[in-house]
Structures are given as structure tokens and as C-alpha cells.
Amino acid sequence: MKTLYCKNYKGIHHTVSLAMFVFALYFLGGQKQILTSFPFQLLILAGNFFLTNWTLRVSGIDDEVEKILAEKANKKGDN
């Protein structure tokens, strides 16, 4: 399970953060008309992409995942 997460962590985090943002806008903010606007949808996608990449980098998850994957590669190489 750890390997599955490490190989797909960026996709998982991008999907979850996008779902949370759209949920907040649609249900909590009452902005149903804004979500149908194509330029605003592109703005949400672009903002989500850069914000998620920044939070992954600042939180240290990127470095930790790279370290874990390198350790697994070294274990395979030793066998």
C-alpha cells in the first residue's frame, strides 16, 4: 500500500484538493453559476495545480517520497 501511495501521491493529492475546493464552492459558497463558466473552471484547475504542488513541496512530502522510492530501488538492486 505504501508503494502504491508513493507512486501516485501527486495524483491523489491533486484529486482530493480539487474535490474539496469544488465542494466548498458549490455547496458551502452557493456559487453554482460561477462553476459553469469555462474560464473560471480553467482558473480553478490552474490554481489547484500550483497550490497543490506548493503545499507538497513545503510540507516535505516530495522529499520523503523520493527517499522512500530510492530506498526501495536500492533494496531491489541489492537482491
Q: Which pLDDT belongs to residue 54?
A: 94
- Burial code of 22-59, b = ≥16 C-beta within 10 A, e = fewer? eeebeeeeeeeeeeeeeeeeeebeeebeeebeeebeee
pLDDT at 50: 94
Q: Using CB atoms within 10 Å of the CB of residue 4, give its burial: 0 to 12 exposed, 13 to 18 middle, 19+ buried.
A: exposed
Q: What is the pLDDT of residues 12-69, one digit of tens each?
A: 999 999 898 888 777 766 666 666 778 888 888 899 999 999 999 999 998 999 999 8
Is 0.75 topped by the overall pTM? yes
